[in-house]
């Protein structure tokens, strides 16, 4: 039987993944603020309460630390919980549970207590939500040993990362960029699990490697179009998994193009972009023809007005400009 | 109106054999910890070490009310909980020494004792961080229709943390089979309860969240055992979460680092008159269940166990440095094979 393509959205792909996991495995349940009656604050779980009931589509009170910790406890107790945190901004209230329990228990217990937990949350800026609702902190989480960090940027990954994450014996955090939920496209009707180990080449090119993930993949692909119009062939790497990083894919690309631009919606200082840049330095310095460039968010708490928010975030034009600079002799 | 029940009054003496079991456990905890203190002074144990001396009746009484399938969550002050739960003395002492034969392969030390086979989900050294885990373990039991209880220990200081309030609310909201055991020893490090809580009656606060809760004399092992049995029975019967406020006192400093400047020597001496071990010994003697020779034999028995554990820990190997990064992720790999 050959698969037919169906129109879908990022949001629907996530929902289909949750639904299928719930149907296939009794141990899976979804828990978080407003996942039930409200349908999820980004409508990802809309309709699932009606299908699976309140035990398995479990609304929680506003208690991030307790329900994330409860997810950890339930995972240890033999369940396969999916915990939804409304957004990364509020995950800070559960940071202790994520870091000191989920990520540490296996090691601290000498290998006895693994935590098969999946935590999903929205990340990112771009919707004029100002300083407290616009963080991109996935890079912070990627700092923590014991966690696997995923950033689905495509419909395939929105559909396919969750089932693979649920089979992982250890905690996995999935970051869904808020600008992606309405992204439209088509998926085969039998689309399913994808790998969660490898970065992907989203566009092949020969002159410069643009490395990004999640919400900035679209802007980076646009930048590659702009560059193509100037005769510059850009390769675009989607990291997909932010921890553990798949060095081989982006280092391999940089060895071929000799130039790299890292695009990250997080702040620059002490960031994931800094880590990637350092790894290129460590593993491919002598292949470089220009310093590694970075396009990150301006180091301000996100301002509300659109023109200031736009100026604070990486944009296709600024990404393309950074790539052009790295193409010039004596770049910098 | 509070439905609070007064401390269970004068429980009848149990069978001699059971009384001896409780006494042996308390003596073992005391001996283990006194030995830890000596080893610490001799720099053979390092890190943070928090002693439970004076509080032995709490762990001993509560654990005695549990079955092997129940889960236990503990804190950094957990030697007593671990020993009363039946973790082998050798594995615990080896953990103090950081040896591979320790109950957490030496990776945890005094504050992080774990034993999966006994559902001892370990020592949490972040104050109140174990409460949310208890919610999850109990939720898993509820969702899977298993008739088990989850017991979570913490101090009265933890009742000032957000996790205490979030977790009690969730437990009551979802009617989870959890027994919260608040060990009220009147101090959080050097901060006296009157300086930490506007309402120091922890059981009363638990009741306001919809839990059944009452205070218990934590220096009386029989009272603790009775209260825990009653609570666990009710929890198994579907009565929802309970909280026991176990009123106790630590005879020694908060940790081996603490110079103990914040309380009067006279206060400590007054509490020592209520030593839970002396109290049980006195009741057993009065009931004709124990004599000098019997007590001496028990003391020798636990001293022998602890001494043997120290020797074994001393001889045991350290984990090879090559294993440093083991257990960051599970070695078994993904469920259902390779991805
Ligand atoms: C969140 C957090 N804050 C501070 C500490 C440092 N600390 C360790 S134990 C403790 C006192 C806790 O008192 P209590 O809950 O009453 O337990 P007790 O030590 O008396 O058994 C403090 C402040 C910590 N470990 N975790
Ligand atoms: Mg205390």
8 Å CB contact of A69 and B135: yes
A–B CB contacts, 8 A cutoff, strictly below? 165
Q: Please tell me what DSSP assigns to residue B320.
A: P
Task: Tell whether A79 is within 8 A of chain B (Cβ).
Answer: yes
Share of chain B above pLDDT 90, in %: 93
pLDDT at B10: 62
**Locus of tokens 């643009």:** A210
pLDDT in tens, B31-67: 999 999 999 999 999 999 999 999 999 999 999 999 9
Q: Cβ(B167) to ligand 1 under 6 A?
A: no
Pick A200-327's CATH classification: 3.40.50.920, 1.20.1640.10, 3.30.430.20, 3.40.50.970.
3.40.50.920
Task: Tell whether A168 is within 8 A of chain B (Cβ).
Answer: yes
8 Å CB contact of A77 and B140: yes
Name, in order, each residue with C-beta under 8 angstroms of B2's C-beta and a sequence gap of 6 or more.
B204, B207
Q: How far, in Å, CA of B106 to CA of B97, rounded? A: 7
Q: How far, in Å, CA of B79 to CA of B58, rounded? A: 12
Domain spans in chain B, listed from the N-terminal domain onward: 16-311
Active-site residue, A258 included: no
pLDDT at B12: 79
Q: Please tell me what DSSP assigns to residue A184.
A: E
What's the rounded mean pLDDT across residues A271-285? 98
- ipTM of this complex prediction, to 2 decimal places: 0.94
Domain spans in chain A, listed from the N-terminal domain onward: 5-188, 200-327
Active-site residue, A64 included: yes
Question: Between B133, B137, B138, which is nearest A101 by CB?
Answer: B133
pLDDT at B1: 34
Chain A residue with Cα closest to B332: A169
Q: Cβ(B102) to ligand 1 under 6 A?
A: no
* Assigned token pair, B142: 């509820």
Which chain A residues touch B105 with a CB distance below 8 Å? Answer: 110-111
What is the CATH code of the structural domain delimited by A5-188? 3.40.50.970
8 Å CB contact of B106 and A110: yes
What's the rounded mean pLDDT across residues B192-198? 97
pLDDT at B335: 86
Domain B16-311: CATH superfamily, name plus number: Thiamin diphosphate (ThDP)-binding fold, Pyr/PP domains (3.40.50.970)
Domains A5-188 and A200-327 share a fold: yes
Region label for A328, one of left (φ > 0), alpha (ψ between -120 and 50) or beta (otherwise): beta
Task: Tell whether B122 is within 8 A of chain A (Cβ).
Answer: yes
Q: Cβ(B54) to ligand 1 under 6 A?
A: no
pLDDT in tens, A51-81: 999 999 999 999 999 999 999 999 999 999 9
* Position B3 pLDDT exceeds 80: no
Which B-chain residues 131-150 have CB contacts (< 8 A) with chain A?
Answer: 131-141, 143-144
8 Å CB contact of B133 and A73: yes
In the β-sheet with A200-203, what is the strand arrangement from edge to edge?
A200-203, A234-238, A208-212, A260-267, A293-297
* Position A173 pLDDT exceeds 80: yes
């Amino acid at each position: 039987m050959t698969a037919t393509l169906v129109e879908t959205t990022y949001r629907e792909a996530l929902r289909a993944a949750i639904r299928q996991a719930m149907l296939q495995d009794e141990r899976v349940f979804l828990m978080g603020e407003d996942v039930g009656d409200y349908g999820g604050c980004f409508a990802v779980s809309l309709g699932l309460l009606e299908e699976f009931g309140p035990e398995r589509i479990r609304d929680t009170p506003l208690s991030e630390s307790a329900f994330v910790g409860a997810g950890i406890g339930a995972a240890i107790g033999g369940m396969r919980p999916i915990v939804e945190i409304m957004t990364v901004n509020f995950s800070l209230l559960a940071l202790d549970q994520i870091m000191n329990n989920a990520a540490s228990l296996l090691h601290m217990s000498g290998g006895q207590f693994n935590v098969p937990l999946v935590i999903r949350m929205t990340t990112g800026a771009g919707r004029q939500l100002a300083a407290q609702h616009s963080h991109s902190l996935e890079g912070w989480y990627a700092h923590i040993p014991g966690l696997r960090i995923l950033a689905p940027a495509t419909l395939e990954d929105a559909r396919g990362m969750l089932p693979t994450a649920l089979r992982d014996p250890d905690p996995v955090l999935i970051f869904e960029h808020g600008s992606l939920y309405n992204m439209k496209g088509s998926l085969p009707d039998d689309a399913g699990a994808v790998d969660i180990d490898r970065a992907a080449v989203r566009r092949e090119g020969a002159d410069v490697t643009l490395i990004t993930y999640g919400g900035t993949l679209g802007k980076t692909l646009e930048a590659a179009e702009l560059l193509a119009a100037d005769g510059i062939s850009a390769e675009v790497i989607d990291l997909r998994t932010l921890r553990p990083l798949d060095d081989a894919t982006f280092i391999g690309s940089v060895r071929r193009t000799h130039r790299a631009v890292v695009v990250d919606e997080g702040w620059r200082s002490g960031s994931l972009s800094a880590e990637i840049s350092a790894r290129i330095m460590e593993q491919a310095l002598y292949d470089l023809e220009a310093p590694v460039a970075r396009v990150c968010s301006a180091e301000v708490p996100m301002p509300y007005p659109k023109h200031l928010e736009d100026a604070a975030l990486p944009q296709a034009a600024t990404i393309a400009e950074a790539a052009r600079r790295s193409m010039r002799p004596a770049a910098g | 109106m509070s439905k609070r029940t007064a401390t269970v009054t004068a429980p009848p003496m149990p069978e001699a054999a059971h009384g001896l079991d409780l006494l042996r456990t308390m003596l073992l905890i005391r001996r283990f910890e006194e030995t830890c203190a000596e080893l610490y002074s001799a720099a053979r144990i390092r890190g943070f070490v928090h002693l439970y001396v004076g509080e032995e009746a709490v762990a001993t009484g509560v654990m005695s009310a549990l079955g092997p399938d129940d889960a236990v969550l503990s804190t950094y002050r957990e030697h007593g909980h671990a020993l009363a739960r039946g973790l082998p003395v050798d594995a615990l002492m080896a953990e103090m020494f950081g040896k591979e034969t320790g109950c957490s392969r030496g990776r945890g030390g005094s504050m992080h004792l774990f034993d999966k086979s006994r559902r001892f989900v370990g020592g949490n050294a972040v104050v109140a961080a174990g409460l949310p885990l208890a919610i999850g373990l109990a939720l898993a039991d509820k969702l899977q229709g298993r008739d088990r209880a989850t017991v979570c220990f913490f101090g009265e200081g933890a009742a000032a943390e957000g996790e205490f309030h979030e977790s009690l609310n969730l437990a009551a909201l979802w009617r989870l089979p959890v027994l919260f055991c608040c060990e009220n020893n009147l101090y959080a490090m050097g901060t006296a309860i009157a300086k930490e809580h506007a309402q120091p009656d922890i059981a009363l606060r638990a009741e306001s969240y919809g839990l059944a809760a009452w205070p218990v004399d934590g220096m009386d092992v029989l009272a603790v055992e009775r209260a825990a049995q009653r609570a666990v029975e009710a929890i198994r019967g579907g009565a929802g979460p309970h909280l026991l406020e176990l009123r106790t006192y630590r005879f020694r400093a908060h940790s081996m680092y603490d110079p103990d400047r914040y309380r009067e020597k006279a206060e400590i001496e007054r509490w020592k008159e209520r030593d839970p071990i002396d109290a049980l010994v006195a009741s057993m003697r009065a009931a004709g269940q124990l004599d000098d020779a019997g007590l001496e034999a028990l003391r020798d028995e636990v001293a022998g166990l602890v001494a043997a554990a120290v020797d074994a820990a001393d001889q045991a190997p350290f984990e090879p440095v090559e294993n440093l990064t083991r257990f960051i992720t599970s070695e078994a790999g993904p469920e259902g094979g390779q991805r």
